[in-house]
A and B are shown apart, each in its own frame.
Chain A
Amino acid sequence: MHQPHAEPRRSIYYRYQVFDAWLPSMHPGPQRHAVVIAGAGPIGLVAALELARHGVKCVLLESERQVSEGSRAIVFTRRSMEILQQVGVAHRVTQNGLPWRFGNSVYRGQRVFRMEAPHDPDDRFFPMINLQQQYLEEYLVDAVRANPLIELRWGNRVNAVTQDGQGATLDVDTPEGPYTLQTNWLVAADGARSGIRSMLDLKLEGASYEGRFIIADIRIDLPLPTERLAFFDPDWNPGNTILMHREPHGIWRVDYQLPPGEDAEAALKPESLKARIDAQLAMIGHAGVPWAMDWCSVYSARALTLPDYVHGRVLFTGDAAHLLPIFGVRGANTGFQDAQALAWRLAFVVKGLAAAPLLAGYSSERVGAAREIIDEAGKSTRFMTPPTRGFRLLRDAVLSLSLSEPFVGPLYHWRTSRPHEYRDSPANSAGDDNALFQAGPGHGAPPQNVRLGADDHLLDHLDHCFALLYFTEDAAVPDALTEVVNELRAKGLPLRVIAVGSAQPVAGADDTLADADGHLRVRYGVLASGAAYLLRPDQHVCARWMGLDATRLRAALVNAAGLNKEV
């Protein structure tokens, strides 16, 4: 019998709410669903909310009865905020999080590199915002509970999975015992130690780089701005790196690497933590400032991915699909992009609009993103935690040079999470004018946000649909285009037409953006009326044209949406 913790987790700043477990005895009858998601971590929650935006119901199974412990993911990127905006929680993150854009690398008490994340005046969100993971999960849970299409079952743990060509059968354990549940599709969002991954006997690939870090959240009042701080090779922890981040509610996160060979349990003992945190505070000139421990944990940085995220009727996402080093803010931020890339395709397949092979595009796009991150993260970790004598010597040479030679500074800057551009995606249109554009987001790129007015941005106008941005000064969208739009909409394709460039509403468009100063047109590299961009439901560009015609529009939509031939 599965007995999740019924006592609220302890925290000095966060009040945990324990939810009632969902019990099978109170819901008699066979259980068959179109989509079941295992795991209500940030990624399972976002996947459920994204599916609901497409009108697809799901059951969300969560082993625990409360949100996750400790701060875990603390830095959310601009792209994550754009995704969270779509599922309706970005405003709560903005209200409560701490935005920032500078990172500092310190060696021997000197700042040797200052990273400045670009912040475009057209962006709605800051490059980074700090918020503890429990809060984000709480906001997502609130959104899920308010959504009639999602049934969140606390205290339900998936214990076994079998599948055939039609779906999967799950054994689910609850505080009153097991029940069986059938689903056409299972989304495995059950985290880094994914039991479902093991049940299917799937192996992660990549280098199992094993740097271990102590992660501690302390409450302390430090007169420092919200900026990332990285300290290299300090006297109290020679050869190793320490990171510090400010979090809301007076909490600071201190991450430090454990010397190889040191026992993690010993390192987590209060006296060991105290000695090291005190040493760190002394080094930054705040010796003796009182602090209190909220939560600590040991974390090993690994860089691994499944080579395929689609296994019959089981679809992997988030940490269940890949384990990425958190440095460069990868864990949850990467997972949100997974959830978003998966959900619209799964919705199309569930609704019978597209055939199952559409899901292969999810896998190829996201496995590609994970591999790129693994490659980049490898560079950063080789600097932070040199794996061999040669790498250590080079790192030490760079530290030493950096005190007087700024040219090595950029080596300190680990590449932070950025949205992947799906340049080779099968969703991209083969016959468009992508190559002719001099500006604007290209094939597979996420859209560049554009400020249209006070509290009004381009991305605010996008929803769960394909979006055709049609640039025109005319009074109406050409009939031939409208015919294609209406034909595909009648078949169930969610598609919105947004006209750009006219002061009056354009006939045939769902929305008109005046773009009086032509700023949007400039940013998108549009030279003349009749140009267009086609954005997928996850907003990535799949086609753009200097001059759009009906045949090419239809071909691009049929291809990107994987429309069934008989449709």
Chain B
Amino acid sequence: MGPNTLSIPGLEQVYDALATAIDAAGPEKTELFLVKLALLNANALADPAVFQVHIDAALKDL
């Protein structure tokens, strides 16, 4: 993606944090949690076009 990519330790940290949070949210609330997270990240990104690129990338190869 863009120039601001995560370092490898950073990526590993995000990986674990996200997995742990999904478990904490539980199966009933996983989707809700992920959508909230996506909205928070989109707000930090402050760029609907980049967000759309992320949506398109995530929709691939499901």
Contacts and interface: CB of A to CB of B under 8 A. Distances in A.
B35 A408 contact: no
A393 B43 CA distance: 17
B36 interface: yes
A515 interface: no
Interface of B: 31-32, 35-36, 39-40, 43
Contact of B31 (A393, A407, A408): A393
B39 A401 contact: yes
Contact of B35 (A393, A405, A407): A393
A396 B32 contact: yes
A400 interface: yes
A287 interface: no
Top 7 A-B residue pairs of the complex, sorted by shortest distance between their CB atoms:
A397-B35, A397-B36, A407-B43, A401-B36, A393-B35, A396-B32, A393-B31
Interface string A400-411: 110001011000
B22 to A, nearest CB: 15
A393 B39 contact: no
Interface residues of A, number: 10
A397 B43 contact: no
Interface in A504-557: none
A396 B36 CA distance: 9
A398 B31 CA distance: 13
A365 to B, nearest CB: 31
Contacts of B35: 393-394, 396-397
Interface of A: 393-394, 396-398, 400-401, 405, 407-408
A401 B40 contact: yes
A400 B32 contact: yes
A405 B32 contact: no
Contacts of B43: 405, 407
B32 A393 contact: yes
Nearest to B31: A393
Contacts of A393: 31-32, 35
A560 to B, nearest CB: 39
Contacts of A400: 32, 36
Nearest to A396: B32
Contacts of B32: 393, 396-397, 400
A357 B36 CA distance: 53
B29 to A, nearest CB: 9
A46 B35 CA distance: 48
Nearest to A405: B40
A400 B34 CA distance: 12
Given A393-B32, A401-B39, A401-B40, 18 more contacts: A393-B31, A393-B35, A394-B35, A394-B39, A396-B32, A396-B35, A397-B32, A397-B35, A397-B36, A397-B39, A398-B39, A400-B32, A400-B36, A401-B36, A405-B40, A405-B43, A407-B43, A408-B39
Nearest to A395: B35
5 contacts: A396-B32, A397-B35, A397-B39, A401-B36, A405-B40
Contacts of A397: 32, 35-36, 39
A394 B39 CA distance: 9
Contacts of A405: 40, 43
Nearest to B29: A400
